[in-house]
Structure 1
């Protein structure tokens, strides 16, 4: 029984693979032949172009040349506009987009200064015309950036994987009906749960791609027209622009210095409160010390004065003393020496 179940599982897997490959081939065939998969951007199938054969005197049409398949392209753009009335321009943009079959995905705005940002979803087949109207009718266009991403290959790949996952899931559900034991039922149910999760992820990606290719995303940034803004735009270059930039840099530097001084001011006040009384007390203590008496040596000079007095005593008032004759007491006890 287990061997039979394994064979059934292998047969289901082979059937899923064959279903995926056949689905991929049908997609390419329809794309090449202009079938249901090859639809134009607005959802209508492209018509084949016919021609008349030069033979038989230009009779009826003999063949039809299919048009190239439609491409899946994701369009995104950002438009910056300066308007006299921001609210009126925003209302006009929303009205035009809604009239063309689009919608407003997100809207944000401020009152000081007046500004508004709109994220608009526009049908892809009407994107170019509506973008041109919004650029000219909302106000003065400041800038415009556009991007286009071709996702035709990714769309075809996701569609093929979705069909393969659906075929594999159907095969495993048939195997579940043929399971006989509890173990076989549990194994098949686990495989079905895994395949269902994969299929849901693929379907979510498929839906996102369809939404992205069906609607173009346009972000409109509206700002108010003010004299200051006009002056900035006019004086952005030349001597006046350089002078204005220099003044802005000077004011920024002065503001930074003022900020630093403001940060240090509390510390300077605290230092002054503590330091000024200490300096005053020190000066007062110096003023109360007794003055030295007249003629007295300055402190620390007593030893120097004593040394000078000893030197003067040794020298005498008339200079160094000359050698004197010996006194009678210094003579020897015997008489003078004989002649």
Structure 2
């Protein structure tokens, strides 16, 4: 009898929870109120939400979790994320990099990343927001000649307020769900509550990680510094053809003679392998020609004598 009564209470309070939209902490509950009975039958986790309502949660009171729209932000308490990109030409890159580190550390900041090579150094600094403007001015003036500077400011006050309200709501929901474990009558209700607790715990951890990231971004400004060395002077070489007068002509003539002799020697080197067999063939041909000539002369002499 107690179990049947508990289930009836769960279904009724589930409908009230869905209509009020407290489970998500947003304004979507009003547009989805007509689907509450169907969700009560299809989602077992909603049974745990109904039990939360019966325990005096947001479903019974009809109040919604605070959001960025209804959270009041105190004047002057804006949360702003500052970023800057600075490029400086330094006479000595290593010395300027060391001076930049000293300025940032003195301001209470730290070095996030550093890389160097080929006459340049790239540094990423995290500087406390209240010291950001002063430190950036010192970096601009005391490292060398400024080549470029870009700054950005992003107001994340509403995002910070929204995340904080969601964290508080998630923490309160987890406390209530853990109390409900002692009130669960059946194994199914225990499983539903444990599943809801696991889901809300994961959501809370995600929100806390986001809250921590926002807190760090608003507490420290990010400055990316690029240090480059001086530009190497360009030395113009005097071409040989630009020299005039007697010495210029003598030099060009000598260079021409050397080029001709070099060409002849190269040609001789190319023809030498072919000259030896050609000379041998010419010598054999000459011997054959002289032999034939002597034979013809003897025959002519014999004919004349006969």
Partners of 1:108 and 1:3 in 2: how far apart? Answer: 68
Paired position in structure 2 for 1:169: 174
Partners of 1:106 and 1:74 in 2: how far apart? Answer: 19
Change (3 A) 1:72 1:149: same
Is structure 2 residue 180 aligned with structure 1 residue 138?
A: no
Is structure 2 residue 82 aligned with structure 1 residue 82?
A: no
Paired position in structure 2 for 1:4: 6
194, 207, 232: which one aligns with 1:227: 232
206, 210, 214: which one aligns with 2:211: 206
Change (3 A) 1:21 1:102: farther
Partners of 2:63 and 2:166 in 1: how far apart? Answer: 7
Kept in 2: contact 1:20–1:163 (CA 8 A): no
Q: Number of aligned pairs?
A: 191
Kept in 2: contact 1:116–1:221 (CA 8 A): yes
Segment of structure 1 superposing worse, 171-180 or 211-220? 171-180
Is structure 2 residue 17 aligned with structure 1 residue 15?
A: no
> How far has the Cα of 1:24 moved from its partner?
5.5
Instruction: Say which SS state the counterpart of residue 57 (structure 2) adopts.
Output: helix
Segment of structure 1 superposing worse, 149-158 or 172-181? 172-181
Change (3 A) 1:183 1:22: closer
Kept in 2: contact 1:20–1:167 (CA 8 A): no
Instruction: Say which SS state the counterpart of residue 180 (structure 1) adopts.
Output: coil
Residues 307-318 of structure 1 aligned to structure 2 (within 5 Å): none
Partners of 2:103 and 2:179 in 1: how far apart? Answer: 52
The CA RMSD over aligned residues, in Å, is 2.5
Paired position in structure 2 for 1:196: 201
Partners of 2:6 and 2:136 in 1: how far apart? Answer: 63
Kept in 1: contact 2:51–2:180 (CA 8 A): no
TM-score (norm: length of structure 2): 0.57
Change (3 A) 1:96 1:2: farther
4+ runs of 1 displaced by more than 6 Å? 17-20
> How far has the Cα of 1:175 moved from its partner?
0.7
> How far has the Cα of 1:164 moved from its partner?
1.0
Cα deviations by residue, 1:128-154 (Å, 9 ceiling, x for unpaired): 000000000011100000111111111
The structure whose Rg is larger is 1
TM-score (norm: length of structure 1): 0.52
Partners of 1:193 and 1:161 in 2: how far apart? Answer: 17
Segment of structure 1 superposing worse, 176-185 or 206-215? 176-185
141, 149, 153: which one aligns with 1:148: 153
Partners of 2:161 and 2:187 in 1: how far apart? Answer: 39
Partners of 2:195 and 2:51 in 1: how far apart? Answer: 18
Is structure 2 residue 186 aligned with structure 1 residue 217?
A: no
> How far has the Cα of 1:180 moved from its partner?
2.7
Partners of 2:98 and 2:189 in 1: how far apart? Answer: 63
Paired position in structure 2 for 1:181: 186
Gaps of 5+ in 1: 33-67, 232-339
Partners of 2:230 and 2:86 in 1: how far apart? Answer: 16
> How far has the Cα of 1:16 moved from its partner?
4.3
Paired position in structure 2 for 1:109: 116
> How far has the Cα of 1:19 moved from its partner?
10
Cα deviations by residue, 1:238-274 (Å, 9 ceiling, x for unpaired): xxxxxxxxxxxxxxxxxxxxxxxxxxxxxxxxxxxxx
